[in-house]
Structure 1
Amino acid sequence: MEVTWYKGVTPVGELCRDVCVEPESGRLLLCTVYQPDADVFFCDRDSGEPGVAWNIRRAVNVSVIPQETKGPPLIILPDGNKTQEVDLGKSHTLVCRVKFGFERNFSPAVQWYSSDGRRPEDLVVMQVEGQKRKQLSTAETLVTQHAVIAEVKPEDLTYTYTCEAGNMVGNSRAYVRLRRKTGVKWFTVAIVPIVSVVLLVGLGVVVHVKWLELSLLYRSHWPNAEVGIDEKDFDVFLSYVWSQIPSNPDDQGYGTTEDRRNTQTPLEVLLRRRLEGQWGYRLFLLERDLIPGGAYTQDVVGVIQRSRRLVCLLSTEYLCSANAVFVLESGIQALLQDLHLKLLLIWMEGRPLSLDQLDPPLSDQVRRALTVLPCLEWSPGQWADPDTSFWRSLRKAMPAQTSSLS
């Protein structure tokens, strides 16, 4: 009796898989079972009487199931021995989350037990809620079991709580102990927001009060792209008041090094020689380059805006001169508006300890600006040596010079 097996409409012999057919018994043995084998198989057998042929067919519905688990369930939560923080007098929920492997007769057992510290082996069954199951895959199921402590008492902190999960292979356990939660003191909760608000308000007040200083610091020290030499008419606006030592700039020859060492040359003359004569910068001097007959205030403001640097030689005479202070104050205003302008102060007599004795007194804006603007301090013994820190710092503070120097 010959039997032919089909999967759907395809003979099993034509399938590209390992099958073992036993013709004598008519049984079909799938040597290795795969997930696509979940299908309908048919077996055909030829039969009949003399002169009459019969074909008998039967259908077999095949389901594919995973292999049964070979190990006990895996407790995911709690993981091992854990300590949980609780509030005395409040309820607390113990959660046990377990992953079970596949079983034909699936009946997961998950239970919570409690035991006191004196005899841990005496387990007391706790009242639990209904199981919650979640199918992760055909081979795994997640089971969650809760146990609720209605009111946590001090003696509950001495207990050990055990979650036990079991299947046909074996059992698994995880343990939990309770610890009193460290309370947050009321004054900490109240003080932290208050301190934060006070700090924010204080920061706002400081920024408001020191806004001028912060703006000048940012614009003086923050690097900005240097404007080209053709975008401004002058490289340096040199502002000063003539020193008490009488000196005629036109009579100051360059002479020898020894001659210069023995001559008490004012700094304004030295700077003019160095900046214009040796370094090749386009210098603006009020007594030389200001066109007479114009509006002094407008002309000064315009020249500052057309200059890349404003250098002010500060002294007691300078800070007591209304015209000189006007140049300084105009430069401060221009610095707050033009990122490409830089202002440099040179203290000729050292930085004074106090500015309160000046007559007339300085404006508040000028006084505050003098504390933050970049500055250099001059001493007469530095003029002869071009490698002193003063001249190196001055050269570094000057704008970029692309033309050839004298």
Structure 2
Amino acid sequence: MCYDWGESSEGAVSVLHGEAGSVSCPLFSHPSVYNYTSAQSAGHNLFWYRLLDGHDLEQPITYSLRFSRDRERLWLQPAAANDSGQYICMLRNKSSCSKIAMRLKVLRPEEVVRSTSCEPPVAMPATQEWIGLQEGKTLNCPDLQYAVKMSEIEPTVSWYYVNPDKSECSQYPFWNNDREQRGTSLQFYTMLIPYQGLYFCTVRYQRRGRMLHFTRSIKVSGIYPERVSKVPTILYPTEHKIFSVRTNSDERLTCRGLLPLILHNSSRKIWWTVDGNTVVELNNHRFSQKNSIVKEDFGDLTMESVLVIEDFQSEDLKREFNCSVWNEQGFLTRRAQLKEDVSLPTVELSCGLGVTLVLMLLLFVVYHVFWLELLLLYRSWFGTDERHTDDKEFDVYISYARNSEEEQFVLSTLRSVLENVLGYSVCIFDRDSLPGGTITDETLSFVARSRRLLVIVGPNYACQGSQALLELKAGIDSMALGGHLKVILVQYKPVQRQSLVRELRRAHVALALVRWQGDKSKELTSRFWKRLRVELPLRRISRDEERCNKEAVLMRLSSQNSTNSQTGLISNTSKNPQKVFDCAA
């Protein structure tokens, strides 16, 4: 068996009819995966096949007068019009095999697109060369080294230059002494702006008594010399720039930077971070980034990055927005300063609006601080006991990961408080199920007969195929089908969202979430128990009954091993036996 990578995504290779051309095996385009020298050392052999246009069968390529191989490249010397098709390279040894295909197009000279009629036809795209202004550099014709290997005599090279301003072509010698051909190379002694443009080189060599040639093109561009600073800079925003933003509207923060080109490493970046995270790392649909090139000046790029914030909120003013630029010579970051743009009321309405705002602020503060207490008070006055409106048997069904610390939390803390203090009827599968029954049927039956499904979320919850996952799916399906069941998530310990199963990730977004915060949640008056009571069915019990239930639980918990002290429900009242005796009476 041979692993087939299909056809390469790098695109077709073009070769000119009548010229020497080559196809490089794409397997070696990623040296970390396939390396030619390492492959040879491991005993791999490289074979070439081709499937010509209009044919159905692959044919092995035999090396002959026209076909030769140099390392990972297959040379056609010269290429003919009927050589167009698919070329497959196969790397194999006794134990492994990989192959990939690449398309070759043989073009006729009249099929090549040229900007001026004097240009020589070239099928392959031009290579890019950067030369520092007022500096020198030597240009070599691409693929010349292969012609040197294959030629029986010393190859010759002819150089051409196309002036982009005058649309003129000239063959060496050029009209000045700043450029000189030395052997097969073109030497630039002093790079000037007018010398930018396309350079063509035609290589002629002899192989097996035949004269062959090929033509390549080089795009030469000038850049600022190395003595000019290559450190990136932020042009906008300036250090004292303040962005005015409005809440509940879409805002755009613009950053513009100058990123000089460095010859041996052309990588350069501009980006925004929000609270130290990139837009991709933030993973928030409200934030997006758009980068663009504003200007190119001798290789140096002026780039712009726009951070788009949808539905800007007042909380976003507290975030830290930083724009950063980088290349190999340096890194620079600058924080964007934000100010909320608030429209002031008119003088006639200022007093009335001021009083209204103060009252609203007071109400907001009261509600923000005491909203749970207010909601519980409202439920106690106007709420309806669901036991009178449905035929459910249990108030709460608790779903948790078995054989874990979540089970200890459920059995020692949650169950005791719900049943003995708050007066709910609780269903726990391991306790209330009958022996010998079918787990799936009994689980679905218990969930259907409950008013609430309490899901204890922790690191061990909802593994694929577990009973807890079955309970979660049953609860979600019951909600989706319009049942009276309501699913409540209780986060016992923080869990990374990526580690949750799909059903729990969706439930985490759509359902109510109550967080257990360790020591902060131990007391019955904590926010955890108030928040949980809001989600649970309404129960009206007298103060004496509630006090007796609470003290009974405390006394039971005080007799447990000290390792259960994490529940935090043992208080000084449990030490008063007279009160417990009164309740028992």
What's the TM-score bracket when you normalise by the shorter of the two chains? Answer: 0.3 to 0.5
Q: Which has the larger radius of gyration?
A: 1
> Relative contact order (alpha carbons < 8 A, sep ≥ 6): 1 or 2 greater?
1
TM-score, normalised with respect to structure 1: 0.36
